[in-house]
């Protein structure tokens, strides 16, 4: 588990968080990130809503804004290598 919760990490851990199987210290980091990252908060809300509608965890749910945020983050990462 990385020390810093980043957007791609949060997206990967969202199912773990919603299933309640995440260790408390990771959940604290997760929630701390949500508090300062509105796109991730939106992602979580939409993800939760999708589960309510579908009655199960979706294979892949990426709201457009989050996708763009993540793509921008990945572009920066590539540019800085």
CB of 55 to Zn ion, least distance (A): 27
Give me the 17-56 binding string for Zn ion, x by CB under 5 A, dash otherwise.
Answer: --------------------x--x----------------
Q: How far is the CB of 39 from Zn ion (least distance, A)?
A: 6
Please say whether the beta carbons of 58 and 47 come within 8 A: yes
Residue 22 or 40: the one with the smaller Cβ distance to Zn ion is: 40
Torsion of CA 42, 43, 49, 53, to 10 degrees: 140
Query: According to the binding rule CB under 5 A, does residue 7 interact with Zn ion?
Result: yes
Q: Cα(4)–Cα(60) distance, rounded to whole angstroms?
A: 23
Burial pattern 16-36, b for ≥16 Cβ within 10 A else e, equals ebeeeebeeebeebbeebbee
Nearer to Zn ion, 28 or 54 (CB): 28
Per CB under 5 A, residues contacting Zn ion are 7, 37, 40
């Amino acid at each position: 588990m990385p020390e810093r919760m980043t957007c791609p990490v949060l997206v990967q851990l969202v199912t773990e968080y919603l299933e309640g199987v995440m260790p408390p210290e990771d959940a604290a980091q997760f929630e701390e990130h949500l508090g300062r990252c509105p796109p991730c908060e939106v992602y979580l809300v939409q993800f939760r809503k999708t589960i309510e509608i579908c009655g199960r965890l979706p294979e892949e749910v990426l709201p457009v804004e989050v996708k763009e945020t993540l793509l921008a983050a990945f572009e920066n990462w590539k540019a800085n290598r």
